Chains A and B, each alone.
Chain A
Amino acid sequence: MSERRPFHRLQPRHWWAHKPYRAYTVRELSGVAVAVYGAILLVGLFCLWRGQDAYAVYRRILASDWSFVVHAVLLAAVLWHVVTWFEILPKTMPKLILRGRQLPQRQVTAMGLLIALVCSAALLVVVVAIGAMS
């Protein structure tokens, strides 16, 4: 029997709360914000389906001060989710080689965000236009 006796150190339980993993944890939690948005929309649709009164309650709650604060936080979280999503995008793709040089990942992220911004703006315009016309 040799002296060898490897010692197994446990992974710190709260690794996700410490540097350098905090940024990752925040990013993952921002995904929860997307889910919460979805849930709020779903509740709204349900109320709409239930009828005028239910929907009126829904709209009153939406118009409250608390709701405004919650939505502001959710919006920030979702925007962060979008930004970090595009930051990961180049990691999920093979290296893009243009004219013999690798396209820097920052540029891929920037282009992705730009396209997302343009599409969002276009969608907003369309929605507002439809709303105005009806």
Chain B
Amino acid sequence: MSDTIASSKTIELRVLRYRPASDAEPVFVSYRVPYTDDMSVLQALQSIKDTQDGSLSFRWSCRMAICGSCGMMINGEPKLACNTFVRDLTPNAAVIEPLQNFPIERDLVVTVGDFVKKIESIYPYLMPKVPKPIEDGTYLQTPAQMTSYESFSDCINCMLCYAACPQFGANPDFIGPGAMALLQRYNGDSRDGGQQFRLDRIHGEDGVWACTAVGVCSEVCPKQVDPANAINQNKTNSALDFFLRYVRREQP
């Protein structure tokens, strides 16, 4: 934030607070924050924490939309606080809430552990088709081959897609857009041979079939990962795998 002149412009931020030690349930608290045109919502929250209420807790780190820490609901939309700007929210009050569809730990901090477990469950690492010793150098992969999985590899794990997904809201066990994007990142990688392992994780009501192609996940994604594509292309894979397993079983 520019500290050249003291700003006379202010905005009201209505923040959903929750302090488990003292609050039975979350409650809105209003803060009035001076702002400049280049200020992000993250900087506004930091201003509240530094000058008005040091007890306000929120996750943040990189300030440049790459670490994925600062996801929250801003005026009802899941966004990253570091690249949402106050100038686009004024003059009305801005409503700041923790990410939808997740339990609230404290203030704007939600429970992330289950999401991380989902990522860990889909074999999120390369299982090379062909083993190769380091001395033999890298695998070859053309730019065209990389294009088939590249967008899925850009996921910053910010969970905005989970906040946007009403099916995840209805079913917290749904594997969800982010984990599926990571799954497809590896399944679509020409070097990888672990497709079958990962396919075993996507069947059923908590797998891809919970998805009804609402598509808002891809709309809110700050990195154009297109998780809706990752899930929906795997519906075909899931169905094929289901029917083909009978054929596979019959093979010696």
Indicate yes or no for A touching B, C-beta below 8 A. Answer: yes
Residues in chain A within 8 A of chain B (CB atoms): 3-9, 11, 15-16, 19-21, 24, 28, 88, 90-95, 97, 99-102, 105
Interface: B61 (CB within 8 A): no
Of all chain A residues, the one with the shortest Cβ separation from B171 is A11
> Looking at the complex, which of B19-27, B44-52, B88-96 is the stretch in contact with chain A?
B19-27
Shortest distance from the beta carbon of B71 to any chain A beta carbon, whole Å: 15
Shortest beta-carbon distance, B240 to chain A, in Å? Answer: 13
Chain A: CB-nearest residue to B21: A3
Whether A20 contacts B147 in the complex (CB less than 8 A), given A90-B229, A91-B229, A94-B233, comes out as: no
B215 shortest CB reach to chain A, Å: 7
Residues on B with C-beta less than 8 A from A91 are 213, 215, 218, 226, 228-229, 232-233
User: Is B219's CB under 8 angstroms from A97's CB?
Assistant: no
Min C-beta distance of B135 to chain A, whole Å: 30
Can you name 16 extra interface pairs (CB under 8 A) apart from A3-B21, A6-B20, A7-B20?
Answer: A3-B20, A4-B20, A6-B104, A6-B105, A7-B18, A7-B103, A7-B104, A8-B103, A21-B214, A88-B213, A88-B215, A91-B233, A93-B233, A95-B229, A100-B147, A105-B229
In the complex, A133 Cα to B45 Cα: how many Å? Answer: 75
Kindly list chain A residues whose C-beta atoms are within 8 Å of the C-beta of B216: 20-21, 24
A74 → chain B closest CB, angstroms = 22
Complex alpha-carbon distance, A101 and B76, angstroms: 36
A3 to B148, CA, bound (A): 46
